[in-house]
Amino acid sequence: MKKLFLIPIMALLVVLGMSFTNEGSEIEEQPDEGVASDYILFNGSWRAIDEQDCPGTGNTCKVKFTQNGTEYAVYDEIDDALPKDGNSTEATLIDP
**Contact between 47 and 39 (Cβ < 8 Å):** yes
Phi, psi of 3 (to 5 degrees): -90, 0
- Best CA proximity match to 94, nearest among 59, 58, 47, 55: 47
What is the tens place of the pLDDT at every residue in 73-82? 999 888 778 8
* pTM for this predicted structure: 0.57
DSSP letter string, 10-55: HHHHHHHHHTT--SS-SSPPPP-SSS--EEEEETTEEEEEPPP---
What is the tens place of the pLDDT at every residue in 11-68? 999 888 888 876 665 655 555 555 658 899 988 889 888 888 888 788 889 999 988 8
